[in-house]
Amino acid sequence: MSTMMELVEELWFLKRDIVSDDFDKALHRLSEEIPMTIHEYPTGSQAWTWKVPEKWTCHEAYLESMDGERLIDYTDHPLHVVSYSLPFEGEVTREELLGHLHVHPHIHNAIPFVFKYYQRDWGLCASQELRDSLIDEKYRVVIRTSFDPGILKVGEVIIPGKSDECFMLVAHLCHPAMVNDDLTGVVVGVDVARKIFEGPKPEYTYRLLILPETIGSVAYLSDHEDLIPKMVGGLFLEMLGNHAPLALQQSMQPESQVDKTLIAVLRGCDPKSYVGPYRTIICNDERQFNAPGVRVPMLSLSRVEKPESIESLYQPYPEYHSSCDIPAIVNQERLEAARDTVIEMLHAFEKNRYVVNKFKGEVFASGFGIWIDYKENPEGHRNLFQIMERCDGERTVADIAIELRITFQTVWDILSTIAKKDLVTYSSTPKSTTPRREQV
Amino acid sequence: MSTMMELVEELWFLKRDIVSDDFDKALHRLSEEIPMTIHEYPTGSQAWTWKVPEKWTCHEAYLESMDGERLIDYTDHPLHVVSYSLPFEGEVTREELLGHLHVHPHIHNAIPFVFKYYQRDWGLCASQELRDSLIDEKYRVVIRTSFDPGILKVGEVIIPGKSDECFMLVAHLCHPAMVNDDLTGVVVGVDVARKIFEGPKPEYTYRLLILPETIGSVAYLSDHEDLIPKMVGGLFLEMLGNHAPLALQQSMQPESQVDKTLIAVLRGCDPKSYVGPYRTIICNDERQFNAPGVRVPMLSLSRVEKPESIESLYQPYPEYHSSCDIPAIVNQERLEAARDTVIEMLHAFEKNRYVVNKFKGEVFASGFGIWIDYKENPEGHRNLFQIMERCDGERTVADIAIELRITFQTVWDILSTIAKKDLVTYSSTPKSTTPRREQV
Amino acid sequence: MSTMMELVEELWFLKRDIVSDDFDKALHRLSEEIPMTIHEYPTGSQAWTWKVPEKWTCHEAYLESMDGERLIDYTDHPLHVVSYSLPFEGEVTREELLGHLHVHPHIHNAIPFVFKYYQRDWGLCASQELRDSLIDEKYRVVIRTSFDPGILKVGEVIIPGKSDECFMLVAHLCHPAMVNDDLTGVVVGVDVARKIFEGPKPEYTYRLLILPETIGSVAYLSDHEDLIPKMVGGLFLEMLGNHAPLALQQSMQPESQVDKTLIAVLRGCDPKSYVGPYRTIICNDERQFNAPGVRVPMLSLSRVEKPESIESLYQPYPEYHSSCDIPAIVNQERLEAARDTVIEMLHAFEKNRYVVNKFKGEVFASGFGIWIDYKENPEGHRNLFQIMERCDGERTVADIAIELRITFQTVWDILSTIAKKDLVTYSSTPKSTTPRREQV
């Protein structure tokens, strides 16, 4: 079994375009690490409003000066060719070439990641430095790509739970020769799944999807419509190895129990971590799950500089979508911290139920040996009493944590103490214990 | 057919007191411009808690010095006599006179508009300058007014729509010898009605009421109780020709679809225009429609200086309720701009329905040829995707515009594009497409 | 019949520990002032999660120097012994003594009030000054206390109303030899009850409870479970004689009609008075009534310095929980002001019902002789019309007061005026008069 960083090192440089041999290779390699079902969607299949594209292969590509000097070569770096570029061969003027030669907006020596899945155009990518050196009148371009019937693949790791209601974990694998975006999300997802497999049977069924961005999610969802009503929530994973705080992006239903739970867990993690509304941190496959007709509350977790930081000028991190996104900018420690946060979130969501009081009035804390003196520990005292006060069958653990602006774990620890005294029980549905009276 | 300014010029100086020959004359003249039903409510008729007052006529009125110099004369200006002043004739001391002589608080050479419909008092109005010149001991007052059985008249222009649910437009006509308040609202209403008549049959039935303020609305409403449940919304019109930004006052139900629609339209008009809560901009007949037992969400549109402007010291515009409110302070261009805004609001309200998605997931924008590149047009891209994301049978066009803080037209244009692709349809009632799942 | 201050003077120095002879003595004395049912809960009785404690008696207690000089003596002041201290007798080292000798944190010459009802420890209390003078190696301690089977007593004054729905007034009596906290709340409660008795039969039944803190409320509630659904609201009383503004603490249901009513009344009282959320001003027996399984909206009224004042350093008032809390820091005038505020609150709550309009549209104010000129009295004019506008069978008197940010009395006065004109009526349940129409 490989570590997350070992998987990153092994797979990162593959040309993992959305439907491609290298994507399949990477997915196959991951399936050796963890049991995986692979769903296949042939080119041309309809997926809701989408059509599965052809397999794309770049056999050879280069830019030469007229006297045969090789200036750009696909064999040097997969990013040198626009993903899904049309084939092209011929002599071009400098001006014509520049119209098809993409550079990175910030990093002068980086090759940018450019994709034109549906625009049907040819293109090359290079560093600004190389572009600046192109002063000849004419150049020779060779792009030998082919578009063939192929199969879009979605890997699904299923961890069966006591219930068939499922929690979705999603990461995409289709960013060629890059690491933080998107391979780190994949390996964190895999490691989270391995950890859940190790533990006791979970409450919910977990489904980790490893797929090409957007089209992979649409293909899977349209193929699993019956499953959609059973999806109780989800988390998209990406950019988890770089040097930036953890950022949790809310779903389109910020009042959902999933949102509340994950936020209340994050609050107990790295104090630099933060929460942002839907679509304000990063946009990925969670869009498909939050979309009309699906509406699964899916959040996303990533490492993104806060908007007010200098680094955020190069949103979401400096090396984003470039050939500088290499293994050196991520490390095992940060991947593990992200993995542990995800696991803590999932554990919390498993535990998040309505808290039903078996007591009435305030609990005789001294009598149960759970008294906390307010002079010695004012925060502990306040938490104890304000949590017990909210146990009424109408609030979940997460509701209480959000109301009191404290962590999920703080609430859970106190509830565990009083549950041991047989003072509360849990319910997956609301069970109000408030006496009925005329609304006054 | 006269232009709005021509109607203003023709009708403004009439002594249009609430029940009076000149009111009838003005209303009759307007009925030549547009087909109108005239409702008649005789003096003494009960209208809910109100009674229709008598017709008031001022036959002659003046103030003279004891040596016969005429100082004030009703023939010079209708505002010289308090509207509904009792008759009075006799010699008065200077002190007694000043108790009955009203002046304008700000403009020293203006005659103020004062009305005492129900207080039963006599009174004259003059400029502060004239008042200051009154230094004699005694004066002679002649006010020959009469109170006779008459008929309160309400003009109603009905534009039948496909539905008998109706949208109410209201303007009052009872401010004698003044222009911006209230004749401009009337002529804008008439021109709006003419424009609707010109177009195809509207969805809703439109009813434009031209009436004496307050008592006219109460008389009409109490006479049309059956119609009240069919009134889906309304807009009061007034002060639309002066130099000030358009101000839209919300109804008492600021969450109504009418409120949301009109606000989302105004946002696309003059950027200086603004919105204020109920009763914060101006109070007129919309009070009757928003009142208990009626509760029609009626907004009002007028040109009023923002509260923070210097001009707003003389709220709502400097010449308000004075003899300075003359044709020169308004112009055709501003009237047309107001009219066009109203028409745009009504068109939008006609179109405002629940947007029901025929797609699931995010739409394959490229496949439908509606892709907007986020680098070339970030705002367009954001609008396209955030609007499509909200098409779920639970939100109207106006709901989406308000949520995204964009104009109604922006939402409508994008919806029209995707409706052409058969991606959405409309419904007058909510039709949620969200899959049912346990609330989590 | 004694005045409130006379009762304070008579009862304050009694050793009113929670279950004690002096508590019973005080309660018995109060029962001579007002008809009272006394509920008895014997030691060991179960009260929900609580057990009624033993009766505690301190027969004798002192601290002596080894040469027999008496340094602390219980006969000097009841606070010298920790309430519910275990008995102890013996020679102790200075260090051991100091571990059991409590002093006041702020006031150097005050004996603090310390209670250890459930911790089972011995302890003495003294001034900081005395503590500082203890320089010997050894001292002799004598604490002769006994724990015996006894009876916890709860006094209940019942004022029967037209309905058996009841409003709860609660004050605790168990703070020995102190005045502002807690005797002032008790005497204000008694005087409020006397005043209600004097008046006509109230709408609600009133129940004033005089009890030992916390355990008294739990004992009463667990013994009266059937009554809980009939409790429509409540008010806890304490600290009402000191020099500080009245502070009203909201219940856990700040949107309840009780909360709205009491807040709208307080707004009309001392302008220095203020309102704070639940648990932010002071915590007492209202906790038991707001607790899970009970959830009666109970507010609390007390005199507490605002958090921003210098005095609030010694929260909630400088002499709190010390031997400085003596009759001199309270006075009859402040007690009466508090009592009158409570009575006004109760009267308002009795009157607080849904206001149902018998009119439609705006009322013809002049016709009913209730017109208020907006130039002469803009506030009165605004209140008149904005209150009438909200009479729709969907809002209570308190709802209107809170919406308009005015006092309950202001709303009531205007409603009384228009009720006399037969324009409105009242209902204990909502009776909407809004015409039904499609939600638009």
Q: Which of A360, A390, A435 sits opposite C48 (nearest CB)?
A: A360
Asked whether the beta carbons of residue A293 and residue B361 sit closer than 8 angstroms, the reply is yes
The confidence score (pLDDT) of residue A306 equals 86
Residue A27 pLDDT greater than 50, yes or no: yes
Chain A residues close to C297, C-beta within 8 Å? 440
Asked whether the beta carbons of residue A361 and residue C165 sit closer than 8 angstroms, the reply is no
Residue A136 pLDDT greater than 90, yes or no: yes
Chain A residues close to C54, C-beta within 8 Å? none
Q: Which of B360, B364, B391 is the mutation pick for testing A, counting most A CBs within 10 A?
A: B360
Residue C172 pLDDT greater than 70, yes or no: yes
Residue C314 pLDDT greater than 70, yes or no: no
Q: Which of A423, A434, A439 sits opposite C295 (nearest CB)?
A: A434
Q: Which of B361, B368, B440 sits opposite A294 (nearest CB)?
A: B361
Rounded Cα–Cα distance for residues B273 and A28 (Å):
61
The confidence score (pLDDT) of residue C306 equals 86
Return the residue of A nearest to C220 by Cα: A361
CB atoms within 10 A of CB A343: 16
Rounded Cα–Cα distance for residues B34 and B11 (Å):
15
C-beta separation of B234 from B299 below 8 A:
yes
% of chain C exceeding 90 in pLDDT? 94
Chain B residues close to A297, C-beta within 8 Å? 440
Rounded Cα–Cα distance for residues B322 and B103 (Å):
9
Chain B residues close to A257, C-beta within 8 Å? 439-440
Chain C residues close to B297, C-beta within 8 Å? 440
Single pTM value for the model: 0.94
Residue C310 pLDDT greater than 90, yes or no: no
Chain A residues close to B438, C-beta within 8 Å? 165, 232
**CB within 8 Å of A384: residues ≥ 6 apart:** A365, A370, A372, A414
Q: Which of C355, C357, C360 is the mutation pick for testing B, counting most B CBs within 10 A?
A: C360
Mean pLDDT of all residues belonging to chain A: 96
Mean pLDDT of A395-417: 98
Chain C residues close to A367, C-beta within 8 Å? 49-51, 118
Please indicate if any CB of chain A lies within 8 Å of the CB of B389. yes
Question: What's the first-to-final CA gap in chain B, in angstroms?
Answer: 63
User: Using one digit for the tens of pLDDT, what is the confidence trace for C16-42?
Assistant: 999 999 999 999 999 999 999 999 999
Q: How many CA atoms lie within 13 A of A89 on its CB side?
A: 7
User: Using one digit for the tens of pLDDT, what is the confidence trace for B303-348?
Assistant: 998 877 766 666 789 999 999 999 999 999 999 999 999 999 999 9
% of chain A exceeding 70 in pLDDT? 98
Helix (H), strand (E) counts: chain B: 12, 18
pLDDT band of A439, cuts 50, 70, 90 = low
Residue C309 pLDDT greater than 80, yes or no: no
Please indicate if any CB of chain A lies within 8 Å of the CB of C288. yes
Q: How many CA atoms lie within 13 A of B79 on its CB side?
A: 25
Return the residue of C nearest to A395 by Cα: C292
Please indicate if any CB of chain C lies within 8 Å of the CB of A357. yes
Residue A59 pLDDT greater than 80, yes or no: yes
**Interface chains of chain B (3 or more CB pairs under 8 Å):** A, C
Which contacts of A412-418 are long-range, i.e. CB under 8 A and separated by 24 or more positions? A412/A348, A412/A351, A414/A383, A414/A384, A414/A387, A414/A388, A415/A355, A415/A387, A415/A391, A417/A370, A418/A363, A418/A368, A418/A370, A418/A388, A418/A391
Phi, psi of A380 (to 5 degrees): -65, -40
Please indicate if any CB of chain C lies within 8 Å of the CB of A423. yes
**CB within 8 Å of A132: residues ≥ 6 apart:** none
Asked whether the beta carbons of residue C293 and residue A392 sit closer than 8 angstroms, the reply is yes
Asked whether the beta carbons of residue B440 and residue A256 sit closer than 8 angstroms, the reply is yes
Q: Which of C364, C385, C440 sits opposite B257 (nearest CB)?
A: C440
Q: Which of B117, B290, B292 sits opposite C359 (nearest CB)?
A: B292
Please indicate if any CB of chain B lies within 8 Å of the CB of C433. yes
Please indicate if any CB of chain A lies within 8 Å of the CB of C227. no
The confidence score (pLDDT) of residue B423 equals 98
**Interface chains of chain A (3 or more CB pairs under 8 Å):** B, C
The confidence score (pLDDT) of residue C438 equals 65
Q: Which of C48, C229, C297 sits opposite A435 (nearest CB)?
A: C229
Please indicate if any CB of chain B lies within 8 Å of the CB of C294. no
Asked whether the beta carbons of residue A360 and residue C291 sit closer than 8 angstroms, the reply is yes
Instruction: Kindly state the tokens that stand for A430.
Output: 């609301």
Q: Which of A364, A390, A437 sits opposite C50 (nearest CB)?
A: A364
Return the residue of A nearest to B424 by Cα: A292
The confidence score (pLDDT) of residue A374 equals 85
Asked whether the beta carbons of residue C361 and residue B258 sit closer than 8 angstroms, the reply is no
Q: Give bridge partners of residue C60 from the DSSP assignment.
A: C144
Chain C residues close to A395, C-beta within 8 Å? none
CA distance C269 to chain B (A): 28
Chain B residues close to C424, C-beta within 8 Å? none
What distances in angstroms separate CA C298 from CA B175, B222, B256, C167, C170, one per listed residue? 55, 45, 35, 9, 9
The confidence score (pLDDT) of residue B306 equals 86
CA distance A434 to chain C (A): 5
Mean pLDDT of A38-64: 98
The confidence score (pLDDT) of residue A296 equals 98
User: Using one digit for the tens of pLDDT, what is the confidence trace for A170-221?
Assistant: 999 999 999 999 999 999 999 999 999 999 999 999 999 999 999 999 999 9
Chain B residues close to C361, C-beta within 8 Å? 48-50, 217-218, 221-222, 288, 291-294
pLDDT band of A90, cuts 50, 70, 90 = very high
Return the residue of B nearest to A257 by Cα: B440
Which of B121, B115, B112, B324 lies closest to B212, judged by CA? B115
Instruction: Kindly state the tokens that stand for A293.
Output: 């007709």
The confidence score (pLDDT) of residue A312 equals 60
Within 25-64 of A, beta carbons closer than 8 Å to B belong to 48-51
Rounded Cα–Cα distance for residues B21 and B15 (Å):
8
User: Using one digit for the tens of pLDDT, what is the confidence trace for C324-341?
Assistant: 999 999 999 999 999 999
ipTM here? 0.93
Asked whether the beta carbons of residue B218 and residue C359 sit closer than 8 angstroms, the reply is no
Asked whether the beta carbons of residue C423 and residue B49 sit closer than 8 angstroms, the reply is yes
User: Using one digit for the tens of pLDDT, what is the confidence trace for C184-220?
Assistant: 999 999 999 999 999 999 999 999 999 999 999 999 9
Mean pLDDT of A220-242: 98
Q: Give bridge partners of residue A323 from the DSSP assignment.
A: none
The confidence score (pLDDT) of residue C440 equals 47
Q: Which of C51, C117, C232 sits opposite A440 (nearest CB)?
A: C232
Please indicate if any CB of chain C lies within 8 Å of the CB of B384. no
* Residue listed under structure tokens 């007229």: A66
Phi, psi of A55 (to 5 degrees): -70, 140
Q: Which of A118, A287, A295 sits opposite B362 (nearest CB)?
A: A287
What distances in angstroms separate CA C439 from CA A138, B399, B434, one per listed residue? 68, 13, 21
Rounded Cα–Cα distance for residues C179 and C173 (Å):
10
Residue A392 pLDDT greater than 80, yes or no: yes
pLDDT tens over chain B, length 440 residues: 999 999 999 999 999 999 999 999 999 999 999 999 999 999 999 999 999 999 999 999 999 999 999 999 999 999 999 999 999 999 999 999 999 999 999 899 999 999 999 989 999 999 999 999 999 999 999 999 999 999 999 999 999 999 999 999 999 999 999 999 999 999 999 999 999 999 999 999 999 999 999 999 999 999 999 999 999 999 999 999 999 999 999 999 999 999 999 999 999 988 899 999 999 999 999 999 999 999 999 999 999 988 777 666 667 899 999 999 999 999 999 999 999 999 999 999 999 999 999 999 999 999 999 999 888 999 999 999 999 999 999 999 999 999 999 999 999 999 999 999 999 999 999 999 999 986 54
| B/C interface, count of CB pairs below 8 Å | 84
The confidence score (pLDDT) of residue B374 equals 84
The confidence score (pLDDT) of residue A440 equals 47
Residue A14 pLDDT greater than 90, yes or no: yes
Chain centre to alpha carbon of residue B198: 22
**Interface chains of chain C (3 or more CB pairs under 8 Å):** A, B
**What is the pairing mode between strands A151-159 and A231-237?**
unpaired
Residue C311 pLDDT greater than 80, yes or no: no
